[in-house]
Amino acid sequence: MDIHILVVDDEPEIADLVGVYLRSEGFTVHTCGTAKEALDTLAHQSVDLAILDVMLPDKSGFELCGELRREHRFPVLMLTAKSSDMDKITGLTIGADDYITKPFNPLELVARVKAQLRRYTRYNSTQEKAPAGDVIDFNGLVIDRGTHQCTLYDKELNLTPIEFDILWMLCSNRGQVISAERLFETVWGEKYLDRNNTVMVHIRRLREKMGEPSRDPRFIKTVWGVGYKID
């Protein structure tokens, strides 16, 4: 099955470099220089993953990511020339799955693309019937790992693959406090580094989608200095 990747970057040298490395791995690459070109492409071409530069000529990559998230669930990687935590948090808050800072090692980018595609493929796979124990149902929250569907009070939650994996891990370990380090290394499959805000940002986004108040959430609770839990 062909895997299609959308690359949106107004610097031809970078777009071409990314395209060369991705095509060498067998991916089909669609390159665009503006947000408008990207949206026009998506109107007639389905893709499995998007790589967005933050600085685009017609609108920011953050804005484009927000628009994509309203219609699509495929993974989004942000390319940013800034290394500030706020820039990364902004990208993750509006729905990006990962980010990589310029200048970057193309091999690292390819590795991150493959990691996101593995998660996305697993998320969308409905070939195998979910075995018993792959559905968690409590307090109005139903999460089905076989179909990767989640409902809260009979309303479907539109979760990204990473958000689903975080919620599943917390639900399947109800009553236990799961550290940010364990969540990150399990869900992302990478080594956790100090001062990594990635988990915190995704927890915040999960709470927003669940309509949870930040001060006294019913489901995902913060145990300060330790981690997160669902009772």
Whether 116 and 156 map to the same domain: the answer is no
CB 38 within 8 A of CB 64: yes
**Domain final residue pick, 98, 124, 150:** 124
Distance CA 50, CA 52 (A): 6
Whether 8 and 120 map to the same domain: the answer is yes
Query: What is the pLDDT, as a whole number, of residue 146?
Result: 80
Q: How many CB atoms lie within 10 A of CB 30?
A: 17
**Domain final residue pick, 124, 151, 178:** 124
**Domain final residue pick, 89, 124, 159:** 124
Tokens matching residue 185: 């290394």
Distance CA 70, CA 65 (A): 9
Which pLDDT tens digit goes with each residue over 96-111? 888 888 888 888 899 8
Whether 114 and 141 map to the same domain: the answer is no
Whether 142 and 106 map to the same domain: the answer is no
Distance CA 220, CA 214 (A): 10
CB 33 within 8 A of CB 39: no
Whether 120 and 187 map to the same domain: the answer is no
Residue 76 φ/ψ region, left for φ over 0, alpha for ψ in the -120 to 50 degree band, beta for the rest = beta
Whether 106 and 46 map to the same domain: the answer is yes
| Domain-embedded: residue 130 | no
CATH number at residue 32: 3.40.50.2300
Whether 159 and 96 map to the same domain: the answer is no
Distance CA 155, CA 139 (A): 13
Query: What is the pLDDT, as a whole number, of residue 24?
Result: 94
Whether 118 and 145 map to the same domain: the answer is no
Q: State the DSSP code for 178.
A: B
Whether the pTM exceeds 0.95: the reply is no
Identify the domain containing residue 67 by its residue range: 4-124
Which pLDDT tens digit goes with each residue over 143-198? 988 888 898 888 889 888 888 999 999 999 988 999 989 998 888 877 777 666 78
Is the predicted pLDDT of residue 1 greater than 80, yes or no? no
How many domains are contained in the chain? 2
CB 170 within 8 A of CB 221: no
* Residue 122 pLDDT level (bands cut at 50, 70, 90): low
Whether 84 and 30 map to the same domain: the answer is yes
Distance CA 10, CA 33 (A): 4
* Chain mean pLDDT for the chain: 85
Whether 30 and 116 map to the same domain: the answer is yes
Whether 61 and 173 map to the same domain: the answer is no
CATH number at residue 178: 1.10.10.10
Whether 149 and 76 map to the same domain: the answer is no
